[in-house]
Structures are given as C-alpha cells and as structure tokens.
Structure 1
Amino acid sequence: MKLTTSAQMRELDRQAIEDRGIPSIGLMERAAKAVAGAALELLPDRPGRCTAAVLCGAGNNGGDGIGAARHLFLKGVRVRAFLAGSYEKLTPDALEETGRLSECGVELEPFDPADPDQRRFVLGADVCVDALFGVGLSRPVAPDSAYAAAIGWMNESRGAVVAADIASGVEADTGRILGAAVRADRTVTFTLPKIGQAAGDGALYSGRVDVIDIGIPADLVCRLRCPAQTVERDFVRAALPPRRADGHKGTFGKVLVAGGAVGYTGAPYLTASAAVRGGAGLVYLGVPAAIWAVEAAKCTGAMPFPLEDRHGALSRKALEELRERVKACDVLALGPGLSREKEAAELARALLAEAQCPVVLDADGINALAGHMDVLDARRDRITVLTPHDGEFARIGGDLTGGDRVGAARNFAAAHGCVLVLKGHRTVTASPAGNVLVNTTGTSALAKGGSGDVLTGLIAALLAQGAPAVQAAAGAVWLHGRAGEVAEGRLTAYGAAPEDVVSALPEAFREILE
C-alpha cells in the first residue's frame, strides 16, 4: 500500500476541494463519522453507559474531533469535548462543526491543564479521541504547553485512545516523536496511510491503523506517486520465482555461504538452512577448517566444506578456493559469523570486489566495509544487498541521528548503488533508484541472535532462483517476519529460536502460495 507524506495529503485535499469542487465540510463529516465509529467499537459497554473525552486542536484535525464528538453524543455516549487552543484560531470547518455540536447541547470547552474536574473526566473516560494535531506537525510539542498536558492525560487514561488521522506528536513523514506523542490503540487515517504510521517509533504509537475513504476522488489517489509503500501479500506473491514442474536441483539456483569462526558456528548454519528452506537448489557452505566438523554434523540439506583458517577464522589463503567456488554459483551470502579477524575482513573485501554474481552481505561482512566503502561503490553495476542492523549501519556511514529511517535508507542505497535492508521493527528495504518498502510482519521473537542470519539465507535463495533484487530482499523480509509470527504462535516469543523460524518458513510460503 502507498505511504504518503503530509505535503502529498495537503495537495490531494486541495485538488479535491478546489479543482473538483468537493465541499471540505463534507470531507470532514465523513472523517468525523469514521473516527466516532472506531471509538464506539472500543467502548467496553453499551454507549449509554460510557463516556468519551475528545481533545481537539484548532485546525481541521480538531474539526474532525469536534464532529466525532457530535456523532458519539447522538449514539448516546456521554461526551465532553475540549479545545487545547484558541477559539480565534479555529478553521472555518472546525467552527462549523463547533456550531453543530452546540446545537446538540454539547459545548466545546476550553482545555485547562489545571482543572481537576477535566483531568478526572479524561483519565476516567471509556474512550479518548485524539484530535490535537494533524499530519502537518513539524516541530516538537512544547513540554509546558496545554497540548503536552492533553497528550499526557490521554496516555494516562484508563480508556482506549483513537487518533484522528495521526497520533498527535508523531511526525507524518518520518515516524519521529516530536517531543511527546499520543500512544493510540487505533488510528483512523484518511485516504492513505502516512510514512510515519508504518516506520520508526510512529509505527508503535499508531496502534492499529484503519485507512478510511472520505471522498477524495479515486483517480487522484491512483495517480499519486508515493516515496514509499508497505510490503503486502500480493507483493510477496509476485516476488516468488516460479517453480518449473520439470526443474531439477540445478534449475533453482546455487548459493554459496561463506563465513563462520570458532565461537560463531550457528550463524553460517542458520544461513545455509534458510537458503535450503527458501527453495535454493544447491547450497554450499564454506567455513574455517576449525569448525568444519561441527557444520558437517549439523547440515543435512547444505554441503559444508573446509577452508584454510587462522586463529579459528577464515584466512587470506582461503581466497583462491572461494574464487573458484563463487564462479560456479549464482549468489554469494557473505559474512554470517565471519568474525572481525583482520584476515577474515580482508578476505570479505576481496571477495566482494571480485564476485560478479549477486552478493548478500551480512554481519561482519558489513563491518569489513567500515573505512572501505570504495569496495561497495565499485559494485554499482552488480547486485549487492546489505542487511545491517542500526549499529552496523552506523559503522558504514549510515545516519539515523535525525530519526528518519526511511530517508536514511533511501539516501544510503542511492549513494552507494546497493539494495539496503535496514533491519529492525518495520524493516526498511531501499533500492538504488530511491524506492522504499516498509515491512509489515514480524515479532519480538525475532529479537534474538541468529535471526538476521536466517534472513540472509532467505534473500540469497530467492535471488538464486531469479527474483529481482528489490523483490527478493523485501519479499524475504516479509516471509521472515511471518515465519517469526508462526514460530511465536507455536512456542511464544520467549521460546521461539532462530531455528524454529527456519522450520516455520514453509508455512509462511504456503500462506502466500495459497
């Protein structure tokens, strides 16, 4: 699904109102009704027995909340609406909604952070509606402001919180938290989801996001070119390479995994196992001779072979054999468990520089690039997929200080001509052309050492079978996240281990194929 920016949403509204002649108050009414509907669904009892607190700003987002207050009142809810702003600054449509609410006998009350009665009502409400700020918020909420107090009260309230369009305090374009933000249980967003609801901390503060059509013409929405989109099932299905009925093991690609060291025997094994589960026809695993016996005992579907080592890690002397092995394979997965031994890092850079096939670079393979980004830049005409977590990303020059994960991933991929998979909650995949895909699957069960190694093997397997690089990367991220959810369902987030995620991959594939 497309993810929009605040500027794009303002332009859609302008086109609908000015170019198509759609009354703005009609858009606001449909938005208000949808917000009220979500609030009604979250009430713990019949409407007549419940209370709702609606906290509004002076802009059109506040107008959505004022309208929602009226719809809740008409359903029998005892509702109070508070304005954390100036009446003089109410927009024309918000003023119209204020008048309609007043005609029902409910007045828009000035919000007073020092009023104990207001505080008791908000904290005891069965549901709160957040309509303080819309998608245009771009500066931090002042900590001593009425808005900050209103946000704090909603977060303290015993009731569920419904945000109108976006949780107040979340930056729509990045997902950054601007000083303070509402932690919504549900966000009712209009027309299209926003980047900040899918990425960064905003994804956590938004709760469940429901996308509501409020009457923006469909052709305007369809023509919109968005800077990012979420990865959904249809995308993953399209990313899966077809399986020929008359295919054999050579048909479905050959993956070479290179890595491992004494103390890091699990990582290469998990990568190779995921490549097998991901459909690769042949998977080879090159590891230091010191751990080869361990890998040979573990692996059944993959084929481990020993390489020359030094201090338990791969030696420069292993380069010649790996060169020949790479030539016979379709994809190189480089780095799982590699270690930061000097010779192992030198080996990784040499392989990356020479390999003509696609390379998936992970873990210490990524760390080996620190101070040597010219090696990556020289591969612009070849496929390279990097899979860093935030720490690894920072070591190779990625900048997350601004809190904009989507923008940082896009800038890095474009600057270095690679496909970047920035791992974390809502993993971001960025292409050299500037396309960004935000993942929608996953669980804390994946927050364990070894999970990233599974992802590396899965990306490599899809690449080996012929999937385009961006589709292979983003599709593998979705499947990996879904397999984590399946493993959690079986074993809980505490008990599910990376090898359980590998075992759950077939079920994730089945869901997509069926």
Structure 2
Amino acid sequence: MQPLLTPQQCRQLDHIAIEERGIPSLDLMERAARAVAEAAEELLADRRRENEFAPVAFCSGGSAEPPETVRALLKRREQDCAPWAAVFCGPGNNGGDGLAAARLLMERGICVRTILVGDWAKMTSDAREMARRLRDLGGKIEEFDPDDLEQSAWLSLCDCAIDALLGVGLKRPVQRAFLAAVRRLNSLHCPVVACDLPTGLDGDTGRILGQAVRADMTVTFTAAKPGLYLDQGRVYSGQVRVVDIGLPDDLTAPLLTEGDLWAVKGPDTLPRRPRTAHKGDFGKLFLLCGGVGFTGAPVFAARAAVRSGAGLVFLAVPNEIYPIVAVKCSEAMPFPIPDRYEELLSRAKGCDAAVIGPGLGADPAARELARRLLRDLPCPVVLDADGINALAGHIDILDTRSAPTLLTPHDGEFQRLTGCALPLEDRLSAARDFAAAHRCGLVLKGHATVTAATDGRAWVNVSGNPGMAKGGSGDVLSGIAAGLWGQRHLRSGPDDLWPLAAQAVAIHAACGDLCAREFGEYAMTPGDMIEALPKVFKSLEPCSGT
C-alpha cells in the first residue's frame, strides 16, 4: 500500500520544513526539479530506443507557405541530433520547479525552450531565482503565444514536454492563457511529464477543473496525492512516481506510516493458514441471494466465497430457483428459504459472516426479508446490490446494528440509498462521510474503488480494468469479502475487517487484471474472475517452510 497525503498536508509539511526547520526552499525546489528532469530524460531515452523522435512535419493550419522562420526551424530539426524539450512554467513555485528542470536538461545537452504562462510580475521569489540561474546558463524564457507560428512549429517538433504550470493548489477551472497552454500540451505528439500534479486536476478529488493536462508520467513530491488516483486522475496522471525531496523524516514519517489514507496497488501477502485448524476455523458463511431471473448472482457469490478460503458456505435461495442453483453448486450448500423466518434466522445465526442481496430482485417480500435479517443477525454482514436497495428509506436499520456491516454499492445504488446527486464530485469524502455517519464500512465501487472504514481510514484501489464492468462482477466481490471475513486467523478484532474489505477489493481487481491479460477486456466474464482466484491467492501465500 502507498500512503496518500492531501495537497494541504504536503503544503503544511513544506511550510514547517522551511519556516521552522530552516531548510532552504531552493534546495527543496532543486531536488524536485532534478527528479522531473530525470523523468523527462527517461522518456526521451525510450523514444530514442524506439526511434520515435519527432518527424520533420508541421502543419500551419492553412494552405499558405510557412514563413521563413518556420522553414528555418524545419531545416534545423533535420540536422539537429539532440532531443528537443519544451517546459511550460507558471509564475508560482510549480513553475520554479519547471525553470530549474529546464536548466538541468540544458546541462545534459538537451535543446530546451522554456515558456512562461501568466503574469511575470507574479513570479515567486524562488521562481525568479531559478529563472536567473537558467539565464546565467544561457537559457531563454519566452512568453506563451498560441498565435506565434514559429513557437507552435517548434512545439510540434519537440520530443518531450514538461507541465509545470499550476501545481496542487488549483481549485477552480483553468482559464485564459493557462487553458490555452493546457490545450497546446494535449495537442503535442510527444510524452508529457507533469510536475507534482497535472495542471487542471484537483489534487484532492481527481476531478477535472475545466480541462487538464493528460500526462504520460507525473512526478509528485513527498507523497502521492489522492487526486492522482481518484476519478479522472488515474487516467490523466499516467505513471505516478513519488520522490523524496529532502523533508525531515521525523516530519514525514508520522503522516506516511500512521496516516489514514492509502492507495492500494495490489493485494497484500496473506498469513499461512494454521496447520491444526479445521473447516469451522475458516468461517461458516450464510448467503441470502437470488430470485427468479437472477440465478447467476447466488452462484457467483457462493463460488467466490469458497475460492476465497471459506470453510463452509450455506446459500439460501427462493424455492423457485433452488433446483437451478443446486445443480450449479458443488462446494457450497444451497437450500430453499424456509417458510418460517425463525428457522432461517436460526441457520444464519450459526454462521460467522453473511452476504445479503446479490440477485434478490425488487420483490417486496424479499426486500423485507433482507431488512429483518439485517436487524436480527449478530454477525458481520456484507450488504450488496438489492440488499442495499432494500435499505432505501430504512437507513435506521443500519444505524442500530451493533455488528459490523459492509455496504458495496456502485454510484447508482449509493444515489438511491442517500439521495445524493450524480455524478459524485468527491467520491472519497462521500464514502468517508457515509461510513462515519452510519458506523459501517463502505466499498464505493467504480473506476477507482474507495473502501472507507468507520474510523476515517480509507483505501483507494488503483488496479482493475473496464472489462470488470459486467453484471455479476459485484457478486464475486461480495463473496470474496465475506470469505475473508469469516476466517479467524485473518482478524484479531473488528477493526481488522475494514483492511480485509480493502484486501478483497484488491484481490478482485487482481483477478480482473489477470483475466484481461488472458482473455481481453471485451470477452472476460465474472466466471473467469472466479477461475482466476486460485492463481491470485497462490501468489499471496507465504513461501513454504516449517
């Protein structure tokens, strides 16, 4: 797991380091710039190996002959064997990082054009000093002019670009010259390195503020920001590289090691199963799933629970579909829902965890049954799909439960439950607020699934793929989560259930990525993901030994 810090936390760390610890701000800027320059060099080296340096081609947008300055530029590009790089800088300290990176690239023999966007008079003192150092080396700083054909031609021919326009402090849509610069960067046919955060991306939420730079790589400082992975951030940030710029360890360590927000890039290793355990130690699970027309959901959930290590899986389904489900289940134990509620409750109370909801449908009797069980069950419950829909208008049931409850909605189910507007502008805050308000765990499924705990901890999953967006995928996740929850050796207390929920999301995503590699995103199915579970779990087992 990778710790995440908000832009505000990072700014506060910088302030303390500079103002209270006496660390020169220019030293921090120099280290940040070095990391950005090294990233740009790596991308240039990749293009050199692949022989993808910019071709000699430029379109002026009209039929007229290019002016002499452009013709001279094209001729120079034919003869110049050195790579060309463009560095877009704003007047703030993010721009100062870019100015320093431009100087470092020049020192390495790269032909650099440094382009300032915004008001020169608003340059920070550190940015001015970096501009002075660049000029002392012979570098020039020019204003961004989208109507300048020679500048546009040069940008069209460059081999790499750096976005150092606005940084992490942006909270309103990109406007005027900065908007034009963002559009120009996105029009280039070369890789783009973003400095700390792509311009136009909200560092807290990952939302696009009007328009944003689509980077191939983002070099971010001290810690990754949530916005790099949330919402559109995962698309616009490209490869994320976190670099240490020299803040004191005693400042950063408490936040990085004891924080409450993490990016999950893959599942963690699992402890060895106890040698002397029996099937009861690995969890008795109760599942209430399925309905007429929804015979796949209970099978997916049950099979995923079994494949995730559950000792015994009992599956209650409506009598009408029992024959179908029974034929499909070999390891799980399906049974028809008894007529007497007390009999069903008695069987469920004998279990260590439960799943309620997959495939229940909109039948009022089924939803009432889900609500009664949620009220009465003393064990942890994973509530999914129609189980969540059954709570709409009855949220008080969730509030009165004493045992842990995990809800796994997608945005539509979350909207039906809460009445919130879609699209969600801040999925992380929405998940955290709901979990805290209703004393439950929440897995808000989507492009970057967020798992939120009752105590404010949250995990952002950064793996998975669009091939997982198929009916039945959520049922598989519910089975994995309950399968982990029921195993006693994986938890020592209630607080361990929430990291296990995040682990279930990561395992689910790992299965999806494995299937995408094997079958492709179009053809992969939830059934394929269940079949991938053994490979994923095998990779998580500790090395064999005594």
Fold agreement, TM-score > 0.5: yes
Show the 5 A alignment for 1:490-505: 490-505=518-533
Q: Is the CA contact 2:193–2:215 (under 8 Å) kept in the aligned structure 1?
A: yes
Q: Tell me, in whole angstroms, the C-alpha distance in 2 between the residues paired with 1:157 and 1:265.
A: 50
Q: Tell me, in whole angstroms, the C-alpha distance in 2 between the residues paired with 1:391 and 1:128.
A: 39
Specify the alignment match of 2:291 in structure 1. Answer: 261
Q: Return the offset for 1:318.
A: 5.9
Residue 236, structure 1, aligned to residue 275, structure 2: no
Q: Tell me, in whole angstroms, the C-alpha distance in 2 between the residues paired with 1:376 and 1:266.
A: 27
Q: Is the CA contact 2:234–2:462 (under 8 Å) kept in the aligned structure 1?
A: no
Structure 1 SS opposite 2:153: helix
Specify the alignment match of 2:169 in structure 1. Answer: 136
Structure 1 SS opposite 2:406: strand
In structure 2, give the amino acid aligned to 1:164.
C
Specify the alignment match of 1:354 in structure 2. Answer: 376
Show the 5 A alignment for 1:300-315: 300-307=330-337
Specify the alignment match of 1:299 in structure 2. Answer: 329
Q: Tell me, in whole angstroms, the C-alpha distance in 1 between the residues paired with 2:237 and 2:300.
A: 34
Residues 360-400 of structure 1 deviation map (CA, whole Å, 9 limit, x = unaligned): 00000001111111111111x21100000000011111646
Q: Return the offset for 1:427.
A: 0.8
Specify the alignment match of 2:514 in structure 1. Answer: 486
Q: Tell me, in whole angstroms, the C-alpha distance in 1 between the residues paired with 2:278 and 2:265.
A: 30
Q: Is the CA contact 2:218–2:237 (under 8 Å) kept in the aligned structure 1?
A: yes
Q: Is the CA contact 1:336–1:363 (under 8 Å) kept in the aligned structure 2?
A: yes
Residue 117, structure 1, aligned to residue 147, structure 2: no
Aligned pair partner of 1:276 in 306, 309, 312: 306
Specify the alignment match of 1:22 in structure 2. Answer: 23
Show the 5 A alignment for 1:181-220: 181-220=212-251
Aligned pair partner of 2:196 in 162, 165, 174: 165
Q: Tell me, in whole angstroms, the C-alpha distance in 1 between the residues paired with 2:48 and 2:499.
A: 46
| Structure 1 residues 402 and 244: alpha-carbon distance in aligned structure 2, compared to 1, 3 A threshold | closer
Specify the alignment match of 1:314 in structure 2. Answer: none
Q: Is the CA contact 1:454–1:498 (under 8 Å) kept in the aligned structure 2?
A: yes
Q: Tell me, in whole angstroms, the C-alpha distance in 2 between the residues paired with 1:267 and 1:65.
A: 52
Structure 2 SS opposite 1:396: helix
Q: Return the offset for 1:178.
A: 1.0
Q: Return the offset for 1:119.
A: 2.4
Show the 5 A alignment for 1:175-186: 175-186=206-217
Q: Tell me, in whole angstroms, the C-alpha distance in 2 between the residues paired with 1:189 and 1:62.
A: 14
360-369 vs 169-178, which moves further: 169-178
| Structure 1 residues 170 and 77: alpha-carbon distance in aligned structure 2, compared to 1, 3 A threshold | same
Q: How many positions carry a matched residue from both structures?
A: 500
Q: Is the CA contact 1:241–1:465 (under 8 Å) kept in the aligned structure 2?
A: no
| Structure 1 residues 348 and 191: alpha-carbon distance in aligned structure 2, compared to 1, 3 A threshold | same
Q: Tell me, in whole angstroms, the C-alpha distance in 1 between the residues paired with 2:537 and 2:29.
A: 42
Q: Is the CA contact 2:265–2:463 (under 8 Å) kept in the aligned structure 1?
A: no
RMSD over equivalenced CA pairs, Å: 1.6
In structure 1, give the amino acid aligned to 2:425.
G
In structure 2, give the amino acid aligned to 1:19.
E
Show the 5 A alignment for 1:20-99: 20-43=21-44, 44-45=47-48, 48-99=81-132
Q: Tell me, in whole angstroms, the C-alpha distance in 1 between the residues paired with 2:135 and 2:236.
A: 32
Q: Tell me, in whole angstroms, the C-alpha distance in 1 between the residues paired with 2:122 and 2:259.
A: 32
261-270 vs 223-232, which moves further: 223-232
Q: Tell me, in whole angstroms, the C-alpha distance in 2 between the residues paired with 1:20 and 1:416.
A: 42
Aligned pair partner of 1:320 in 321, 342, 346: 342
Specify the alignment match of 2:70 in structure 1. Answer: none
| Structure 1 residues 391 and 318: alpha-carbon distance in aligned structure 2, compared to 1, 3 A threshold | farther
Show the 5 A alignment for 1:308-457: 317=339, 319-379=341-401, 381-397=402-418, 399=420, 403-457=425-479
Structure 1 SS opposite 2:19: helix
Q: Tell me, in whole angstroms, the C-alpha distance in 2 between the residues paired with 1:113 and 1:354.
A: 66
Specify the alignment match of 1:108 in structure 2. Answer: 141
Structure 2 SS opposite 1:49: coil
Q: Tell me, in whole angstroms, the C-alpha distance in 1 between the residues paired with 2:232 and 2:92.
A: 24
TM-score, length of structure 1 as denominator length? 0.94
- Segments of structure 1 that go 5 or more residues without pairing to the other structure are 309-316
In structure 2, give the amino acid aligned to 1:21.
G
Structure 1 SS opposite 2:268: helix
In structure 2, give the amino acid aligned to 1:65.
G
In structure 2, give the amino acid aligned to 1:337.
G
Q: Is the CA contact 2:441–2:453 (under 8 Å) kept in the aligned structure 1?
A: yes
Higher-Rg structure is: 2
Q: Tell me, in whole angstroms, the C-alpha distance in 1 between the residues paired with 2:365 and 2:407.
A: 21
| Structure 1 residues 52 and 505: alpha-carbon distance in aligned structure 2, compared to 1, 3 A threshold | same
Residue 10, structure 1, aligned to residue 11, structure 2: yes
Q: Is the CA contact 1:398–1:412 (under 8 Å) kept in the aligned structure 2?
A: no
| Structure 1 residues 402 and 283: alpha-carbon distance in aligned structure 2, compared to 1, 3 A threshold | closer
Aligned pair partner of 1:459 in 481, 485, 493: 481
Q: Return the offset for 1:232.
A: 5.1
Structure 2 SS opposite 1:188: strand
Q: Is the CA contact 1:398–1:408 (under 8 Å) kept in the aligned structure 2?
A: no
Residues 438-468 of structure 1 deviation map (CA, whole Å, 9 limit, x = unaligned): 1122122211111110000000011111332
Identity %: 51
| Structure 1 residues 50 and 351: alpha-carbon distance in aligned structure 2, compared to 1, 3 A threshold | same
Q: Is the CA contact 2:272–2:541 (under 8 Å) kept in the aligned structure 1?
A: no
Structure 2 SS opposite 1:153: helix
Q: Is the CA contact 2:271–2:541 (under 8 Å) kept in the aligned structure 1?
A: no
Q: Is the CA contact 2:85–2:111 (under 8 Å) kept in the aligned structure 1?
A: yes
Q: Tell me, in whole angstroms, the C-alpha distance in 1 between the residues paired with 2:419 and 2:450.
A: 13
Q: Tell me, in whole angstroms, the C-alpha distance in 1 between the residues paired with 2:174 and 2:210.
A: 5
Structure 2 SS opposite 1:64: helix
220-229 vs 365-374, which moves further: 220-229
Q: Is the CA contact 1:270–1:450 (under 8 Å) kept in the aligned structure 2?
A: yes
Specify the alignment match of 1:251 in structure 2. Answer: 281
154-163 vs 466-475, which moves further: 466-475
Q: Tell me, in whole angstroms, the C-alpha distance in 2 between the residues paired with 1:320 and 1:53.
A: 72
Residues 291-338 of structure 1 deviation map (CA, whole Å, 9 limit, x = unaligned): 111111111111111226xxxxxxxx4633321211111111000000
Q: Tell me, in whole angstroms, the C-alpha distance in 1 between the residues paired with 2:126 and 2:406.
A: 49
Q: Is the CA contact 1:241–1:462 (under 8 Å) kept in the aligned structure 2?
A: no
Structure 2 SS opposite 1:494: coil
Specify the alignment match of 1:312 in structure 2. Answer: none
Q: Return the offset for 1:402.
A: 5.4
Q: Tell me, in whole angstroms, the C-alpha distance in 1 between the residues paired with 2:381 and 2:3.
A: 29
Q: Return the offset for 1:122.
A: 2.4
